[in-house]
Amino acid sequence: MIIACATDNELHFPDKHSGEAAYYMIYRTNDKEAEFVMRIENTSPEEKMHGDPNKAKGVVSLLKAKNVDVIVSKQYGRNLKRIKSKVVPVIIKTDKIEDGINLCIENIDLLRKELEKEGEERKHIILG
């Protein structure tokens, strides 16, 4: 499973919506561990209005180009409903990315189950 963590500093989740993060830290995970793969810059377009569908499309395109299955962030905006049809959104209640990744590994079966669902059927997950 490929997980993307929203961040501004490579160590912590920012206190803002996932689409506003400067970067996404990409990890490959299994039932026991996570391996850092790469950091990608958030080059999605600026929002022209709150909940701009072009912003959601830009973020999803970036993530899907790296085969991301799950996005982890402290906050999501109105675009959560658009994002969840393509990736599983996780709302994390911790500050450190390392802690968030560990929570994802501990709940990998829950993430897999949600990933199997499609479109409107898929829900976001809260961890932490």
68-80 residue pLDDT tens:
999 999 999 888 8
pLDDT in tens, 12-53: 999 999 999 999 999 999 889 999 999 999 998 777 767 777
- pLDDT higher than threshold 90 for residue 82: no
> The domain that contains 55 carries what CATH number?
3.30.420.130
Domain extent for 82: 2-127
Q: What is the pTM of this model?
A: 0.93
Instruction: Please count the structural domains in the chain.
Output: 1
pLDDT (0 to 100) of residue 44? 86
SS3 assignment, position 55 = helix
> CA angle at residue 96 from 101 to 33, to 5 degrees?
20
pLDDT for the residue 97: 97
pLDDT score of 25:
98
